[in-house]
Amino acid sequence: MQVEAVAEALDIPKFFLAKILKGLAKERFFHSQKGPRGGFTVPPEVLDRPIIDLLRATDGSEQLSLCLLRSHDCTPDQPCPLHHLFRDIQLDLRRVLEQTTLGALLDAAERPLLTDLTSPVSASLIAHLN
């Protein structure tokens, strides 16, 4: 895929996308080839990687264990008021991200999950996790 074509399809700046793809190539999510016929390709083994690897490479997975109220004092021994309510949800989400491969997002049965991950509000993703 050529950066220009993807940037145009997503309506985002080409240089912004190129920087993101370059970082993902460094993490081996893409192969990159320079030159007029260059671009990015997805190595087949990437499809076997869990979604959480992509999260770690882009945003970091620390957010999956942050306190919902952003309390610095929130620990299992001294929990915030929401700690016990959301800890199981965080663990379930982490499990889904660890057990679902990127390739599964391309399978016909999982296409609704891919749509949910790209939509601003993801009510059916929550339903999928239940």
Q: Are residues 22 and 74 in the same domain?
A: no
Q: Over the range 74-113, which residues count as b (16 or more CB within 10 Å of their CB) and which as e?
A: beeeeebeebeeebeebeebeebbeeebbebbeeeeeeeb
Q: What is the pTM of this model?
A: 0.67
What φ, ψ does residue 31 adopt, rounded to 5°? -100, 140
Q: Are residues 78 and 117 in the same domain?
A: yes
Q: How confident is the model at residue 60 (pLDDT cuts 50, 70, 90)?
A: confident
How high is the pLDDT of residue 109?
Answer: 55
Looking at every residue in the chain, the average pLDDT score rounds to: 79
Burial of 13 (0-12, 13-18, 19+ CB in 10 A): exposed
Domain C-terminal end among 26, 42, 58: 42
Domain of residue 32: give its range.
1-42
